[in-house]
């Protein structure tokens, strides 16, 4: 059984540090919550592109993602197409 995010935060120092770092950027107004979601998705996309063993494609139409996730993905898709 997977640990909840709260359990990971309490018991995994690397997870805890990453959450705290991201929260600090939000509190300092370095990035907005929307930008933070885009940053995380972009990092995941970069990881997928650079890992040859990740060949699975994500079918967004078949999933019931929250609107903010779809908005962040849409922003990244537009960005990638403009490059």
* Band (56; pLDDT cuts 50, 70, 90): very low
**3-state secondary structure at position 2:** coil
pLDDT digits (tens, 9 = 90+) for 64-77: 667 777 777 777 77
CA distance 81 to 12: 37
pLDDT digits (tens, 9 = 90+) for 5-55: 899 999 999 999 999 999 999 999 989 999 999 899 888 877 777 665 444
User: What pLDDT is stored for residue 70 in this prediction?
Assistant: 75
User: What pLDDT is stored for residue 17 in this prediction?
Assistant: 96
pTM: 0.58
Q: How far is CA 2 from CA 6, 7, 33, in A?
A: 11, 10, 25
């Amino acid at each position: 059984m997977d640990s909840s995010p709260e359990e990971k935060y309490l018991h995994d120092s690397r997870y805890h540090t990453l959450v705290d770092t991201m929260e600090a950027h939000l509190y300092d107004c370095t990035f907005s919550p929307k930008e933070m979601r885009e940053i995380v998705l972009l990092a995941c996309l970069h990881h997928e592109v650079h890992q040859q063993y990740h060949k699975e494609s994500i079918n967004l139409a078949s999933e019931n993602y929250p609107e903010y996730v779809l908005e962040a993905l849409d922003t990244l898709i537009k960005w990638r197409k403009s490059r």
